[in-house]
Structure 1
Amino acid sequence: MLEVSALNTFYGGAHILRDVGFALAGNEVVALLGRNGAGKSTTMKSIMGLVRPRSGSVRFEGEEIAGAPAFRICREGIGYVPEDRRVFAALTVEENLEVGRRPPRENTATWSEDALYTLFPNLGERRRQAAGRLSGGEQQMLTIARTLMGNPRLILLDEPSEGIAPRIVEEMAGVILEMKRQGVTVLLSEQNLYFAKLVSDRAVIIEKGEVRFAGPFAALAEQPEIAQQYLVV
């Protein structure tokens, strides 16, 4: 579904991503792992068109999208949940969901408000509450739900477990697995190895803008020195 090849991204003169490459199959959850500053968020922004790569390829369902504007990439069926959530604080939960609404897509799960309130019961209980009054974990849920209202085939989740309570982290794992059951492919940026293992089929480890490992978690478990070198703070 997604193929990233030889991606190079710069911020000014700083070379952030160096020939980054990996792929996702349809209906798969892949974890992009690495320490703070490793290049995980830049990789996601480069895929989503929020940062323009200087070179390389990003192909979504066979179509080249590298360097395309973010609105076009969204229309192609990719959703993005940023690390900093960015809810519309003055709008209610219902109104935030309405902002994300897009028409149904062929051969793609269609998400309604009722389906999302079933997936996120806390949001259903607070549907008329201003988003700015939600907890951090609830705001994270709302951002994911708002993105699902766009009926994406692929969703990019940037650090979904960061800064939320352990109970909400467990709920978030259930949400990602349900998204997979509904046919949504997920690229997950994470530092939390335990959380990533709960939901992901494979791992891609990035360090200093370069891919250092790509494979199933079973292979990573057999090489503990890799996690020690690139993930332990």
Structure 2
Amino acid sequence: MSLPFADRTVLVTGGGTGIGRAAALAFARQGAAAVLITGRRKERLDETAAGHPAIVPVPADVTTQEGSEAAAAAVRARGGRLDVLVHNAGIFRFTPLGDLDAGTAREVLETNVVGPLLLTGRLLPLLRSPGGSIVVVSSRGGHNPGPNSSVYSASKAAVHSFTRSWAAELSDRGIRVNAVAPGFVRTEAYEANGLSREEAEGLFAGVAGTVPLGRVAEPEEIAPWITMLASAEHALVTGQIVTVDGGLDIATT
């Protein structure tokens, strides 16, 4: 039996940690010939690449034109065809309205919205047509926002919008576009906001009490949804936002 991504080339942005790392390893273990991973921190990319020989680190900031070109060059160096594009790179910032500054707002929007737009446009000529797949890692905050996260939630609402827009625009090329919208996931994002490891774990413990299934997710629990949506077995699925949050949506709507 052949593996679902045998002979395929996959690119995962933000592949150095968290969901991106878990997704890259999942694609590699399911037979991908090459899983290109981008990120700003080469050492974290190398740590992911050490997990499987098919994973290829591509240090690049894909919020920039130069980073997008570096990603495209990496695809061209491996035959020039991209089968799966996973937009995982993103940042979260606590943004209480009274403390919001322009720099933080631009940082979040450029990373979560502008970056995927630029990179998709740059890679579109290389994306397999028909048969290519784009999967975007979004957030339940895009449709069910909470306090102190207005910029982040707005950026993910934009992600939901362009996921559906791209799905409609690219359908005549046979390219599918879907998104996964996790709830709370145990990643480094919270420490990047200044929390200590202990404070982050305390936050997760508190949040778990509000989740109907009783806990936050691990990155390895989100990765299967990414590979599933990218798989040719789901060739009729496009324009969908799949929420994976332990039931938090039904508890807060």
Same fold per superposition (TM over 0.5): no
Which of the two has greater strand per residue? 1
TM-score between both structures, scaled by the size of structure 1: 0.35
Which of the two has greater helix per residue? 2
